[in-house]
Amino acid sequence: MMDQLSLGLTNLEGLSFRRDGNGEDTPATEEITNPQSTSPRLVHQSSRTSIYRFQDKGIKVRLGGNLGDPQPQQWQVDRLSNEQTISRYLPLSCKRREVLNIGPFDGHPVALYFKWANGITLKEWMRKVQGGTPGVASFTVTQRNYNETSHIQQNHSRSSSHNESAIDSNLLYFGNIGHTTNSALYTSTIKTPTPRATDDLNVRLRAAMAIAKTLSDFHDAGVVINNLTTENVVLDTFEGDYVATFIDLSEAAIFRNDAPDNQGGQKSVDDMAAFEKQIKQEDLRSLGTVLNQLFRGFQDDSASQSVVRDNTDVFACDRTDTPSKTEGEDVRRKRSKPTNASEGLPIYLGSLISTLLLTDSPASAVNYESAKDVYLDLKTMLENKSRCFRKTDLDECMVESRLKLNTDLFYGRRVQISMLMHLLNSVFMRGNQPSIATISGHPGTGKSTLASQIKKPIQDRDGFFIEGKFHKSSCPDTVLSKALNSFFGSIIVKGSFSGNMLMPLRWRIHDAIGSGNNLLMDVIPNLRKLMAEETSTVQTSSNGCTLRSGRSHAIPTSSHRLKFMFCKLIGAIACKAHPLILFLDDLQWADEITLDVIRMILTDPDVTHFLLLGAYRDNEVSLSHPLTEKLNYLKEHGKDVVPINIGPLEKECVNTLVSEALCLPPNLCRPLSNAIHTKTGGIIMFLLRFLKSLNDEGLLWFSLSSQRWEFDLKKIRVKEISADVVQHMTLNMTRLDKNIQMGLKTAACVGSNFDAEILQKTKKDDDFDMKTLLEKCVEDGYLIRIDGSQQFAWAHDQVHQAAYELIPIEKRELFHLLLGSRLLMKSSSSELANMLFCVVDNMNRGVNLLESDDQKHELAFLNLRAGESALSYSAFHTASRYLITGLSLLEHDSWEKNYSLRMRLYDAASEALYVTGDFSRLISLVQKPLKLAICFDDKLNLYNNLVRSLAASGQMDEGIATCLRVLAQLGEVIPSTISLESYHTETVRIKTMMQGMSDDQLLSLPVITDTCKMAAMQFLNHLLYQAYFAKPELSPFISFRMVEMSIEYGVCNITPFAFSVYGAFLVSAINDNEGGYRMGRVAMELMKKMNAIEIIPRLSIVIYSMINIWKEPFQASLSKHLEAFDIGAHRGDMEFAISSLFQYVNMSIYGCGENFDGLIKHIQAYSKRALQSQQHVVGTYLIAAHQQAFDFMGVEENAYSLYFVGMTEDSCFDTAYRNNQLSICRYICQKRKYVAFWTGDMDVAAKMYELSKRFPLGSNGKIVSDLVATFIDGLIAFYFARKHRSDEAKWKAIGEDVMV
């Protein structure tokens, strides 16, 4: 590498040159003595100057008018004196030839004595560089020392080995510098490859930096050179870099801050600044000439100066030919033919040089004011070669003076990037639990671009990056499914997975969600394709209790199932080998269901190596916003939410952005970037659009003469713009062609992303040209073409909003209505199905303009279709919006008109509202149809959703009352209170009915056909669930009636559950263990016969927790509860799925003797799962079990605080008592009694026994903890009975009662 780059400072020593008539250097004929000679030797002579060398000193003699005349002219003496003055004035830090003194020499009255400077003149260095040819160049290097402005170079006494170790090979363009040699004059032939262009440019850049640095030091010291040429610069190296020394200071001048003005007074600060700027201009222009020669290879100043003149002339023409701007005109400057001022150079470097060459030109908008700025810009170029070297030729946009900007530019944000990379490493290294980080900031600050910076790093490490974006006007509840669908689609289309990566992913997904999960695969079609199999439809019972709407409600938690499936799918994708980052943008517009899915994922103990990145606008998220509430929930449950705030760009980052966008050096851009930063506040999207508008208005243009971007800074500074980026962009859009504006308006109404075919259907023949519109919008950065298809998306939602603002407010409703109507009329039935949402969305916005009842009815029907379609995609929030809008269109009609349409809307709307959890709105919505429906059958589905909402919202008493009223209407009268007499009567009656019925007879019962009784079974099922918590005395009576109806009218998919509940009654209430065990067995067989898989979790709770424990070992039931959890979770029955986990824990603690060390880990995971699924009652049971495990292990820790900040067992008990949650109170009493007994604290055990009597179990089925609690009650009773205290009789009776 050293040999390849050695073209400059080769071993030069002792060669004399003289200037010929053309000003060229030619070798002198005088013999030069050894530099170590004891007497001065002549090393150079010209008509005006002689140079002598004496060891490490030099002597400069000025000659008179004729050669040999020792008497110099006065101006020559003055220059020698000036050089001495300047040399002594400058500090040591300034690299100049040091003058020792002025005195006579060898008959000459005046001579300048100086220290010999090491190095090679820039001119000679350039000559050596230019001597090479492509490939292997052979050229003669005649070595000598240069040390004079005209031609003197010096010997640099430094060993070659030292130079090689100190200087980087890429820097050492000139190889072994100053190797000492004793030969007086010799020539050598060196064969060396010409360096690559990049290496060549790097070396020249370093040399240029050294020159600019030395000039900057001179100016800082208050000295201007006034004679900066390639002959007056000597290059040397020091500590691995170039050093430039200025050797001829005869024309230099000192400017002082205290210099007096013409009137003898002190100059003002402003005057002094102007004076300094003016006096430095000559040096800066000379620097430009030197750099132009350095980079473009001119060997003399005349060629360079001609370029300066050419550029100045054409540049002036470029400005004078500029037309004045008139309103409405697309201002473009006349393009002049380009000259070769920067030809062949990177545009960045060419801009720097052309600016220096035109330093004093009034046409130049921004000039360099200091050499230091030049040095810094050259340094920037060297440190960022890939960025600054990227453009060397003019492209079409530059020739046409059109500024083209990328929309995904990223600058600064080092702190935020560091935080993201730390999170990424945590996901890879640890990842034992899911993580979350939020990126917040104002619109347009670059939140999405920041998140995208982590995309490549995770993909490089075989991780996954899935991204989705919410939109203000689009369906928020489809964002997650669309993001996952796009992810799986990219795997299928691009084939980005190898076989050894794809198959494990399929296996993980199959294990997590099964092979027949139609619910998930229906909303993620590409998942079905990825699994490479046609998912078989899981057969469900045809005997389900289905109400009038045709939807099954045996499992009232379909939304829970969908959310759970999303959670399981995310957990399957993310693994240690392939961590997953899910980025969701604009979370401020997310729906409740998606936020709930996020909460479930982040609290799921089975999800690992997962990071959620959520971006939102902090100015739109208040303390009461749903997103804030969800984030607070996560924090309260011990989840660290890493906040990453992103604000405006700093001025320096804006300057870097402008520099790269315009290919201009940073210091030339700073005045412009400062003005832009001031006007845009550093909001990156705002400043990009502002830059584009400056170009469109002719305030920023590309000059072909100077071959750089130029701008009218004065007009830019006074330009007034809106402080709002949307208003600013809208104003710029108004300057576009009218047809383009119409296209933008139409596209804004079509949606956040759209197909070109839909846009085509919205236009009239003469509205706009599709091809022209799309090309213009893509070119201007308004739209983005998706993967080269006919799909388009807005570059940013604020660009979308700006286009929408083009439509006057008073005309928007009409515009939407016309657009939607046009789409409806131009679309076939099949096409309408694909663009139904777009049609309905637009027509709904113009609903107030509809006058005809027929039009309103038609739109109401379209809303019904859209709502039902959204329900099929599990977009429940979107569905409810369409359905309620449809109802509003019919509110002024008579109830009988469009009755069928109205009831379908009410049914579907109540369904959607229940799933979304909007119970209060549902309860209010159904009141009117429940009063006005023509027949009771039409009310059943509404009642069904109503009682489920009442139960889910905790209004158990109202739910029970509603069920009783409905059942009475269906012919099944259930008393609200049960007397002891009626209880015994019903018990005898059901036993008599069941007596004599064999298992085969029960299993052979016909399927129920009476729709009224089917509905009654459904509401009895709701009533049984609510009575268990609020009115336990009703539970046996309800189960009796369900069994009776099954025997009398036939069975349905609820019957197995009714049989199992009756079996639990037999073993718990009347000690008929065999009868209860038999009913449990029949219930399980009937479930299999009817294929009623959805009720397995419910059956398992009753059979394996309340019945079989009387007949089989407890351990035999443990695995059944875990199986029931898996089935319930996949079917969406989260209530009973989580209850199965509790039964597993409860049985492990009280009946199976499981080791607490292993069990406690399961308890913690199950507790989190319960809270994640919003099953707070069962979750509280599990947390109490967690505390119980701590108590038995002797761990003094509050388990409740691990899940809820500040909660204790006492506060949990008090809360449950206030909310009438008697089952929780009873369980905590049992737990405390159990622990107190085994730890010997019998007084506390007795106290807990007395307290638990306030929360009786009634005749409900008993689980293992209830049985153990009863046994402990007997032990406590006999313990105190043997104390022979005054209450001995009471305790003895209690003990005897337990033994019965």
User: pLDDT per residue over 280-318, tens digit each?
Assistant: 888 999 999 999 988 877 555 554 555 444 444 433 334
Tens digits of residue pLDDT in 974-1012: 888 888 888 888 888 888 888 888 999 999 999 999 999
- Considering only residues 65 and 207, tell me which one the structure prediction assigns the higher pLDDT: 207
Asked whether 618 and 585 are in contact (CB, 8 A), the reply is: no
Report the Cα 428 to chain-centroid distance in Å.
18
Ranges 296-305, 522-531, 1047-1056, 1068-1077: which has the least confidence: 296-305
CA distance linking residue 839 with residue 832, whole number of Å: 8
Helix axes 651-662, 684-696, angle to 10 degrees: 40
CA distance linking residue 879 with residue 872, whole number of Å: 9
Average pLDDT score over residue span 483-492: 88
pLDDT band at 840 (very low <50, low <70, confident <90, very high): very high
Phi, psi of 114 (to 5 degrees): -145, 165
Average pLDDT score over residue span 745-769: 86
Q: List the Cα angle 574/580/583 in 5-degree steps.
A: 140
Strands (E), 352-505: 435-441, 464-469
pLDDT for 494: 64
pLDDT band at 267 (very low <50, low <70, confident <90, very high): low
pLDDT for 768: 84
pLDDT band at 725 (very low <50, low <70, confident <90, very high): confident
How far CA 362 is from CA of 97, 316, 355, 366, 1203, in Å, comes to: 35, 9, 12, 9, 72
pLDDT for 70: 63
pLDDT for 556: 37
What is the SS3 assignment for 645? strand
Amino acid, res. 216: S
- State which of 628-642, 815-829, 1259-1273 shows the largest mean pLDDT: 815-829
Whether 857 shows a pLDDT value over 90: the answer reads: yes
- Considering only residues 78 and 359, tell me which one the structure prediction assigns the higher pLDDT: 78
Asked whether 641 and 609 are in contact (CB, 8 A), the reply is: no
Ranges 54-58, 186-190, 237-241, 320-324: which has the least confidence: 186-190
Average pLDDT score over residue span 543-562: 47
Q: How many residues would you count in the chain?
A: 1300
Tens digits of residue pLDDT in 1173-1197: 767 888 898 999 999 989 888 888 9
pLDDT for 173: 37
Show contacts of 756-765: CB within 8 Å, 24+ apart: 756/790, 756/791, 756/792, 757/790, 758/823, 758/835, 758/838, 759/792, 761/822, 761/823, 761/826, 761/827, 762/819, 762/822, 762/823
pLDDT for 500: 65
On the CB side of 182, CA atoms within 13 Å amount to: 2
Report the Cα 349 to chain-centroid distance in Å.
35
Residue written as token pair 């153990």: 1268
What is the SS3 assignment for 969? helix
What is the SS3 assignment for 279? helix
Residue 306: count of CB within 10 angstroms of its CB? 11
Average pLDDT score over residue span 171-185: 31
Instruction: Give the strands of the sheet with 435-441, arranged side by side.
Output: 464-469, 580-585, 610-617, 435-441, 641-645
Average pLDDT score over residue span 1201-1221: 87
Phi, psi of 154 (to 5 degrees): -125, 165
Q: Nearest Cα to 160, choosing from 237, 234, 235, 95?
A: 237
Tens digits of residue pLDDT in 652-687: 999 988 988 888 899 988 999 998 888 888 888 888
DSSP 8-state symbol, 1104: I
Average pLDDT score over residue span 869-895: 88
Element (H, E) at 709: strand 708-711
CA distance linking residue 633 with residue 1176, whole number of Å: 13
Ranges 571-585, 760-774, 812-826: which has the least confidence: 760-774
What is the SS3 assignment for 327? coil
Q: Nearest Cα to 208, choosing from 353, 70, 409?
A: 353
pTM of the model: 0.69
- Considering only residues 543 and 1137, tell me which one the structure prediction assigns the higher pLDDT: 1137
Tens digits of residue pLDDT in 428-445: 887 788 999 999 998 888
What is the SS3 assignment for 1139? helix
Average pLDDT score over residue span 546-573: 63
CA distance linking residue 1152 with residue 1158, whole number of Å: 13
pLDDT for 1154: 74
Average pLDDT score over residue span 453-481: 87
Asked whether 634 and 603 are in contact (CB, 8 A), the reply is: yes
Instruction: Classify residue 802 as left (phi > 0), alpha (psi -120 to 50) or beta.
Output: alpha
pLDDT for 928: 93
pLDDT for 208: 93
Structure tokens at 509: 């997904």
pLDDT band at 808 (very low <50, low <70, confident <90, very high): very high
pLDDT band at 496 (very low <50, low <70, confident <90, very high): low
Structure tokens at 2: 């050293």
The chain-wide mean pLDDT, for the chain, equals 79
pLDDT for 887: 93
Whether 927 shows a pLDDT value over 80: the answer reads: yes
pLDDT for 983: 83
pLDDT for 361: 54
Structure tokens at 647: 């604000």
What is the SS3 assignment for 367? coil
* % of the chain beyond a pLDDT of 90: 24
pLDDT for 1124: 87
Strands (E), 731-817: 753-755, 783-785, 791-794
Is 1109 exposed, middle or buried, given 0-12, 13-18 or 19+ CB atoms closer than 10 A? buried
Residue written as token pair 């020499």: 105
Is 481 exposed, middle or buried, given 0-12, 13-18 or 19+ CB atoms closer than 10 A? buried
Average pLDDT score over residue span 1235-1247: 91
Tens digits of residue pLDDT in 354-402: 888 876 555 445 788 899 999 999 999 888 877 777 666 777 888 888 8
Element (H, E) at 435: strand 435-441
Whether 734 shows a pLDDT value over 70: the answer reads: yes
Structure tokens at 1002: 């029960």
Helix axes 558-573, 899-916, angle to 10 degrees: 50
pLDDT band at 343 (very low <50, low <70, confident <90, very high): low
Average pLDDT score over residue span 1255-1259: 69
Q: List the Cα angle 809/812/818 in 5-degree steps.
A: 160
Average pLDDT score over residue span 174-199: 34
Q: How far separated are the first and last CA of the chain, in Å rounded?
A: 101
Element (H, E) at 350: helix 347-357
pLDDT for 35: 44
Average pLDDT score over residue span 1012-1028: 89
CA distance linking residue 770 with residue 773, whole number of Å: 5
pLDDT for 1057: 92
CA distance linking residue 116 with residue 53, whole number of Å: 8
pLDDT for 856: 92
Q: What is the chain's alpha carbon radius of gyration, rounded to the nearest angstrom? A: 45
Whether 341 shows a pLDDT value over 90: the answer reads: no
Phi, psi of 47 (to 5 degrees): -65, -25
